[in-house]
Amino acid sequence: MTTLASAPEQTAGAPAPSAAPRRRRRGRKAGRTHAAGPVTYLLLTVTTLVSIFPLYWTVVAGSHTNAEIAATPPPFLPDADLFTNIGRAMEEAPIGLAIVNSVIVAGCITVGTVLCCTLAGFAFAKLRFRGNGVLLSLVIGTMMVPTQLAIIPLFILIAELKWVDQLQAVVLPTLVSAFGVFFMRQFLSQALPDELLEAGRVDGASTMRIFWSIVVPVARPAMAVLAMLTFLTAWNDFFWPIIALTTNNPTVQVALAGLGGGYVPDRAVIMAGTLIGTLPVLVVFVVLGKQIVGGIMQGAVKG
């Protein structure tokens, strides 16, 4: 009787023999769900080709003549006239000076926007002061105002300051963006624990020391994304630079606007100049692409 009574207890206390294989099977099934199939690779290939095609067509169109581009069917392979058209583009517009100006303008706007927006985002996210919500609402509300409404008073202001055809006329009005402030505020609200700030205050650190030593390392992934978006926006901006600058001191987009003039626009020269203006951006992505993606991935991984 004692043996029969103790048998169920031993059976109940022993681990189920099939539990480990069942867990291994579940692990293998979970691993299979993350494997990319042929459909995924096909979609990625199609997306890549569609994304690269505009750049490839720029090279093709920039290496032919107007008549060849207008032919039916159009050419789909580059020709030997690319460097000839690039030389004509460099003669028609000061593209070299324009690239230098664009690097200065886009670089200054990017550094200023990232720094100022990170400071403002930290203040709105973690500092408590009177009127916090009202000021944030006003900042967000400026995003609803069309840019065209501010052009006339802004041009009058830079004319009074005698900044027409000078780079500061393009840099200073766009040194801070409402989108950047809101973006950094949302990121820091979630990614920056209040305990880190309290630990810094207990150690006697000032607000600026906390910002440089604690906030900036935490916000680095979002700062990388904001810098990338700001640089592209500043490099491609055309509306305000064409008003504030002239062809004597242009950015890339203003210089490209003066290419291929005449009764029939020379699209080959325009495309060749566009290719020159695109190369610096491609170089930035080739050199800094890994760091930008790494910063984004750091922000996506917790712990």
DSSP per residue, the chain: -HHHHHHHHHHHHSPPTTHHHHHHHHHHHHHHHTS--HHHHHHHHHHHHHHHHHHHHHHHHHTS-HHHHHSSSPP-S--TTHHHHHHHHHHHS-HHHHHHHHHHHHHHHHHHHHHHHHHHHHHHHH---TTHHHHHHHHHHGGGS-GGGGHHHHHHHHHHTT-TTSTHHHHGGGSS-HHHHHHHHHHHHHHS-HHHHHHHHHTT--HHHHIIIIIHHHHHHHHHHHHHHHHHHHHH--HHHHHH--TTS--HHHHHHTTT-SSS--HHHHHHHHHHHHHHHHHHHHHHHHHHHHHHHHHHS--
Tens of pLDDT, residue by residue, the chain (303 residues): 444 444 444 444 444 455 555 555 554 544 455 566 888 889 999 999 998 998 898 899 888 888 888 888 888 888 888 888 888 888 888 888 999 999 999 999 999 999 999 999 999 998 888 888 899 999 988 888 888 888 999 999 999 999 999 999 999 998 889 999 999 999 999 888 888 888 888 888 888 899 998 999 889 888 888 988 899 899 999 999 999 998 889 999 999 888 866 677 788 888 888 888 888 888 877 776 666 666 566 554 444
Residue 102 pLDDT: 93
DSSP state of 257: H
Q: Write down the pLDDT at residue 25.
A: 54
Is this structure's pTM higher than 0.85? no
Residue pair 141/230 in contact (Cβ under 8 Å)? The answer is: no
pLDDT reported for residue 97: 92
Length in residues, the chain? 303
DSSP 8-class letter at 250: -
Residue 88: partners with Cβ closer than 8 Å, 6 or more residues away: 266, 269, 272
pLDDT at 93: 85
- What's the pLDDT at 7? 46
